[in-house]
Amino acid sequence: MRVFPASLLVLALGRAAVGADPATAVYNHACAWCHGKDGRGDGPAAFSINKYLSPRPRDFTRGLFKLRSTPSGQVPTDDDLLRTLERGIPGYMPSFRGLTAGERRLAVTAVKGFFPGFATAHATPIAVPPPPPADAAAVARGREAYAAAGCAACHGERGRGDGPSAPALRDSDGLPTGPLQGRCGAGRPLPDPHERARRHTHAVLRLGVR
């Protein structure tokens, strides 16, 4: 009987899945398709997601995260990671609101397990002061800050993503970042409780360049 060995294999795989710890089990069901069983961003679905364009599904073993309330170079807080899962990353990753809160926490545990730096890190959110009033003076200061920091080199004089450096931009793996136009605040999950302040800062910057 030819199907017999195949059914044995299925049984064996089933046992292995049951044997996995709860965090790994949730991760394998919900995340491994894109992020890979070992967290290296090389799951079966990752092959067809943006294969030649940034961003690819994140390789968690590098400990590099964008959506953080923490300073540059630090790992995100658990709340940052939970927020990323709840909101998803529009255009790149689905929201996992459909999982229970407990399952989302287990997924966060699994993500942190791929990078040893999480065990020793003391992730501390940046204190964002309350936003200034969005008056003409603030807009003028925003315009100055935008010019002084050289944002226009990539984002363009008017924030349209058409600065001279934009076409050649590549990520740390050498993949092109694609058009910047419309990327500014395009529904990315901004961390609470600073979200309002940050959105406001962006609005002022945007107003300042239009």
What is the signed CA dihedral for 67, 196, 198, 161, rounded to 10 degrees? Answer: 90
From residue 28 to residue 47, the character string flagging contacts with ligand HEC as x (rule: CB under 6 A) and all else as - is --xx-xxx---------x--
For residue 145, the tally of other CB atoms under 10 A from its CB is 14
The piece of 13-21, 87-95, 117-125, 131-139 that touches ligand HEC (CB under 6 A) is 87-95
CA 48/CA 187 separation, integer angstroms: 23
The answer to whether 85 contacts ligand HEC (rule: CB under 6 A) is yes
Given candidates 81, 106, 139, 204, which one binds ligand HEC under the rule CB under 6 A? Answer: 81
Pairwise CA distance, residues 193 & 195, whole Å: 5
H helices of the chain, where?
A: 3-19, 22-30, 32-35, 78-87, 101-113, 117-120, 136-148, 152-155, 195-208
Instruction: Determine, following the binding rule CB under 6 A, whether residue 66 of this chain makes contact with ligand HEC.
Output: yes
The yes or no reply on residue 175 touching ligand HEC (CB under 6 A) is: no
Residue ranges that bind ligand HEC, judged by CB under 6 A: 30-31, 33-35, 45, 49, 55, 57-58, 65-67, 76, 81, 84-85, 89, 92-94, 96, 107, 111, 149-151, 153-155, 165, 169, 177, 180, 183-186, 188, 202, 205
